[in-house]
Amino acid sequence: MIQPKHQDEKKPFPWHLIVFLTPALLIYGTFSVYPLLDTLFLSLFGTQQGQSTFVGLQNFITLVTDDNWSQAFWNALINNFKFFAIHMLIQNPIGLLLAVLLSSPKLRLSGTYRTLIFMPTMLSVVIIGFVWQLLLSPIWGISENFLYSIGLGHYFDAWLGKEGSALITLSFISVWQFVGIPMMLIYATLLNIPDDIVDAGVVDGANPLQTFWYIKLPLILPTIAMVSILTFVANFNAFELIYAVKGALAGPNFSTDLMGTFFYRTFFGFQLQQGSASMGAAVATLMFLIILVGVMLFLFFIQRRIQRFQF
């Protein structure tokens, strides 16, 4: 007589999953989790009379209230929000527009345009900063002659050398370099939209603008949301472009100082400023908390309200 198989029979433990996941977990824990926890731990200590002592939250209080630290901290934080706002208001809309144009089947040589637009993202930030510094130089740059040749010479100025325009100029350079990333992400999503949906809208009498606004845009909103949060995280980790063009002092007069360059000077020291590992860890912890809070607010108020469609 055949015995019925019990429904509650335990399946063998999947040991093979542990074998495959252990190397990745070890690498991730060693190079990501441990440094993060160590930084959080270090931010709670300070150096007094040459010895490391536990100070709790005093380093954070010093950063935001002490006269020697607070001005530089708030200046870097405000500049970082300006840097992020320019990318959100200029880079991502341009990336969306380029993606829509390149996804048009009527556009010829679209592959060449995609390559040319995406190419700057593959270049070193140091090279990008050096080249643009040469182009915009009032002494040997070609920007002044170019603007005069098209009748806009009176708009030329030493944009990288003035406090009011240096950060905006660097933001535009960053937008030019990285606009290919949102363009490609949105472009890939547009290509995944079934032609039947678009054709149905056209049959119902929708013009190209209505087709995009009422059909395509709702379908790519999750990708636009993902691009927005990636922009936020990347901008609050920005460092290389500012350092390559303006150095660790983020001149002129710290007008281009971001949280990344402020952390660099605080942790490693620069010129007359002595480095402090505990204060640098406090700056890094605040950067982590700002990014964490921003991502959580985004997920809570925006991401969960976006309706997703499966084709």
pLDDT tens digits, 197-213: 888 888 888 888 898 89
pLDDT band for position 311 (cuts 50, 70, 90): low
Q: Given a cut of 60, is residue 65 above it in pLDDT?
A: yes
Place of tokens 């309706």: 307
Q: What number is the average pLDDT over the span 22-46?
A: 92
Give the C-alpha distances (Å, rounded to integers) separating 50 from 53, 84, 252, 276, 277.
9, 39, 34, 12, 13
pLDDT at 48: 75
pLDDT at 244: 93
Buried/exposed 202-223: b ≥16 CB within 10 Å, e otherwise: eeeebeeeebbeebbeebbbeb
pLDDT band for position 9 (cuts 50, 70, 90): low
Q: What is the 3-state composition of the chain as percent helix, strand, coil, each rounded to the nearest 5?
A: 70, 5, 25
pLDDT band for position 175 (cuts 50, 70, 90): very high
Q: Which stretches within 236-310 are classed as H helix?
A: 240-246, 259-268, 277-301
What DSSP string describes 265-286?
Answer: HHHHEETTEEP-HHHHHHHHHH
Domains of the chain: 59-305 (1.10.3720.10)
What does the alpha-carbon distance between residue 210 and residue 75 come to, in Å, rounded to a whole number? 43
As to burial, measured by CB atoms within 10 angstroms (0-12 exposed, 13-18 middle, 19+ buried), residue 121 is: middle
Residue 42's SS3 state is helix
pLDDT at 138: 87
pLDDT at 3: 55
Contact 168, 86 (CB under 8 A): yes
pLDDT band for position 89 (cuts 50, 70, 90): very high
Contact 171, 87 (CB under 8 A): yes
Residues 6+ apart with CB under 8 A from 146: none
pLDDT at 8: 56
pLDDT at 52: 83
